[in-house]
Every structure is written in structure tokens, then in C-alpha cells.
Amino acid sequence: MNLTEFEKEFSTEEQCREYLLKLRYEDGVNICPKCGGSKSWLVNKTLFECSDCGHQRSVIAGTIYQDTHKPLTLWFRAIWYVTSGKNGTSALGLQQILGLGSYRTAWTWLHKLRRAMVRPGRDKLMGKIEVDEAYFGAPGKGGKRGRGSENKVLVAIAVEINDKKVGRIRMAVIDSASSENLHNFVEMTCEKGSTIITDGWSGYNGLSEKGYLQETTKRKPDDADDTLLPHVHTVISLLKRWLLGTLQGSCSKEHIGYYLDEYTFRFNRRKSKSRGMLFYRLLQNAVQIAPVTYADIIAD
């Protein structure tokens, strides 16, 4: 979909409302889920009432749009803007392009949309998967490096290998590289029966008892760090560059998990064929996840 097509499809409140209704109720607006009646009327911008039994259906209740005072067309434009940019977007950029009065609104919307980037119940990775951890964020004062560093955010990363190339990815912030955390991460992101390839860190020991095949790469004396697990290290360096470029490296500890979700969402759809689906996928996810408020987001 290009901009012209987008504007044709989603230029009015009615078009956006109809689309959300279709996403939320398979039969669309016409059939009342309670009495089967086929007539309804619009109570307000987003609420329908069945003419036969009075049953009301809201298009936005229970979604990220809940309680919004802004037009749906503006939300659709935000989603379009967020998904059509190749690398991502800043709150300031979103505020300017939509002409929003407040930076806070743009910032809150972006965070809401990031939460919608993870589809509830998404598939796990399968096959050959490289797993490693890496530190992200501003360098700390202590200069302590490696698995004991306390000033940065530790992220576990899993990368599927397809035909020796990088496939889909999954990431999560973890407290430490403990066996418990790493095993949980693998179980949450990788199908049993997959081959998990890691370095020799003892935290990965025991995965074979949990239904995985385990491969450990051993370092030769003159090996550089990134030759050991090349696919996962490619992703780590791309992610570092993205965090620097898109967010000027300023991702707070509290929010980094959501930035990782955004990166994962974009990365897994980076091929041109699926890039066009980004917009529809985000619209779809946005009606499936529970509403969050600005207060929720900053308390997080």
C-alpha cells in the first residue's frame, strides 16, 4: 500500500471505524452478536447500538484506542507513519507530521503502538537458533565489563538460522545471565526440538534436559568475539546501530524492552514482501491488546 492508497482507504472516520469493526467482529457491523439482528445505529463516534435488542458494541473499548479523544483518522495516520518509515520514528517526528499539540501525546501514542508490536500468542522460533546475551545502553561509570556489569541493560537474543542466513529474531531484557533466566528465555521463544547454539557459558547447560538439542561453539585462541555466533552478533550490531540512530542512544532502562519489541517487529518483516503488511499487522494487533494509559506507561 502506498500513501495515495492509504488516503483513499482511510480518509474518513467512517472508513476507519468500519475497518476496526471488521477486525474486532468477524461479521462486521451488520450482525448483532446477542440477538442476530442486522440493524444498528451509531450512538457516538465509536459506539453502535443494536436496533432490535439495544446491545451496544464499542469499536475501541478494550483496545489501545480506548478513551481516546482524537479522531480515528489521526490514529490510522500515526500507524501509517510509524510503519512506513523504514527505520522507525521519534515522538518529535510523529508530533510534527500529525500536527499534534503536545509532545506528550505523541510520546504516549508511540509507546502504545510499541506495545501493539508484539502479537499475543505469536509463534516461537524453530530449527537452528543461535542464542546469546549482550549489554545495551549508556556505558556505566565503573567500566566493569562482561557478564557482571551492572550499569547496562542485559538483553537475551535468539536468532533463527535459515539457509545459513539470519531468519526471525526474539529478544527480552533479563536481570542476569543466570541459568534460570536463560532457560526461561529459551523456553518462551524457541520450540522444543530446536537446536540451540550457544557459547560455552554455563548458564546454558541443561537445555538438552528440557527438550532441546544443544550445540556449544568453542572459541579458538585467535577467534574474535563475533565469529563464535555470527548470526546473533550481526543482529546485536544492527540493533546497537538502530538504537543509536533512531533514538540517539537514549533508551531508558524502563522502556528498552518496548524498543526491542519495535526492533523485532520491524526486523522480522524487513523483506520487501512482508513490509507492506506492517501497517495492517499493527492495526490488527492494536485491537487485540489491552489499553494502557500514560500513567501506566511512565509507571512501568
Residue numbers of the site for Zn ion (CB under 5 A)? 32, 34-35, 37, 50, 52-53, 55
What is the closest distance, in whole angstroms, from the C-beta atom of residue 14 to Zn ion in the complex?
21
Q: How far apart are CA 62 and CA 291, in angstroms?
A: 6
Q: Which is nearer to Zn ion, 43 or 53 (CB)?
A: 53
The Cα angle at residue 110 between residues 109 and 114, in degrees rounded to 5 = 115
Cβ closer to Zn ion: 48 or 204?
Answer: 48
130/201 Cα distance (integer angstroms):
13
Nearest-angstrom CA–CA distance, 157 and 164: 17
Cell output for 268? 522480522
Residue placing its CB nearer to Zn ion in the complex, 32 or 155: 32
State the Cα angle at 116 between 115 and 119, rounded to 5°.
115
Between CA 89 and CA 92 the distance in angstroms is 8
Smallest gap, in angstroms, from Cβ of residue 33 to Zn ion?
8
- The DSSP line for 46-68 is TEEEETTT--EEESSTTSTTTT-
Q: Which of 285, 256, 206 is nearest to 20 (CA)?
A: 285
Q: Which of 294, 299, 297, 288 lies closest to 64 in space, CA to CA?
A: 288
Minimum CB distance to Zn ion smaller for 41 or for 299: 41
**Closest CB 60 distance from Zn ion, rounded Å:** 20
For the record, the C-alpha cell of 72 comes out as 480515528
Q: How far is the CB of 58 from Zn ion (least distance, A)?
A: 15
Q: Smallest distance from the beta carbon of 22 to Zn ion, in angstroms?
A: 18
Nearer to Zn ion, 35 or 188 (CB): 35
Helix or strand (DSSP H, E) at 70: none
Minimum CB distance to Zn ion, residue 55 (Å): 4
Q: Which is nearer to Zn ion, 49 or 215 (CB)?
A: 49
Rounded to a whole number of angstroms, the minimum distance from the CB of residue 211 to Zn ion is: 48
Question: Which residues are 47's β-sheet partners?
Answer: 44, 58
| CA–CA separation, 266 and 280 (whole Å) | 13
Supply the minimum distance, in Å, between the C-beta of residue 32 and Zn ion. 3
CA gap 271, 212 in Å, rounded = 29
Residue 157 Cα distances to 123, 160, 191, angstroms: 16, 10, 15
Nearer to Zn ion, 50 or 177 (CB): 50
Smaller CB separation from Zn ion, 8 or 34: 34
Residue appearing with cell numbers 475501541: 60
